[in-house]
A and B are shown apart, each in its own frame.
Chain A
Amino acid sequence: QKEVEQDPGPLSVPEGAIVSLNCTYSNSAFQYFMWYRQYSRKGPELLMYTYSSGNKEDGRFTAQVDKSSKYISLFIRDSQPSDSATYLCAMSAAWYSSASKIIFGSGTRLSIRP
């Protein structure tokens, strides 16, 4: 069983829709949670990162962490065609050790239809 599970999609939604992307994980030691966006033939770029449980909002993006369920989500409001990309979740037990690696999900491919 992978430490981090992410539905690969593809997920196709119309422009303006609310998008929900999710990951589940098995390691209860994870405390730091990230979402990366990766455009085709580009490297991942950090979108959001959060610590422990709760919500964090940045413009049209909201990251949500539920540690009791080992479940994280990324919501995109008013989705735009420019949001079409692969979204990777990632998590780590702590920032306090270089040996505490970041574990990535395999990514969900998202397509926003104009």
Chain B
Amino acid sequence: NAGVTQTPKFQVLKTGQSMTLQCAQDMNHNSMYWYRQDPGMGLRLIYYSASEGTTDKGEVPNGYNVSRLNKREFSLRLESAAPSQTSVYFCASSSQVSGFPGSNQPQHFGDGTRLSIL
């Protein structure tokens, strides 16, 4: 039972390079999220997808794009990486509360992608 799987686990990029972080969940969850975690800052929401076909900005969306490829997969793209984007990136997913469309249960997280931008 994999839960939330993120690839790659580690990546080093040069400033200006682009890359896509992949996330897949096998729990049949409707909602998926991308966070970044920085020391002293906690988890900050970058983008989320409440359901297949929809995406919305979170707290820190600048410099990122997302794609909800299908119900299972939600990718995060850095078009032109900057040193300020050095961080640990977490993908999460959650299910709806029964009878409350659009609502969300607590989130389940992957083990993260450690990204360094030189």
* B-binding residues in A (CB < 8 A): 4, 6, 8, 34, 36, 41-46, 49, 88, 94-102, 104-107
Contact = CB atoms under 8 A, between A and B. Distances in A.
Q: Which secondary structure dominates where chain A touches chain B?
A: loop
B26 interface: no
A45 B106 CA distance: 10
Contacts of A102: 45, 106-107
B43 A98 contact: no
B62 to A, nearest CB: 17
B31 to A, nearest CB: 6
Contacts of A107: 42
Interface residues of B, number: 28
B74 interface: no
A96 B100 contact: yes
Which of B41, B100, B104 counts the most chain A CB atoms within 10 A? B104
Given A8-B40, A98-B48, A46 B100 contact: no
Given A43-B111, A44-B43, A98-B48, 5 more contacts: A6-B42, A45-B109, A46-B108, A95-B105, A97-B102
Interface of B: 4, 31, 40-43, 45, 48, 50-51, 56, 58-59, 90, 92, 97, 100, 102-112
Contacts of B100: 95-96
Contacts of B92: 43
A46 to B, nearest CB: 5
21 contacts: A34-B106, A41-B112, A43-B4, A43-B109, A43-B111, A43-B112, A46-B108, A49-B106, A88-B43, A95-B104, A97-B102, A98-B48, A98-B50, A98-B102, A99-B56, A101-B45, A101-B48, A102-B45, A102-B106, A106-B41, A107-B42
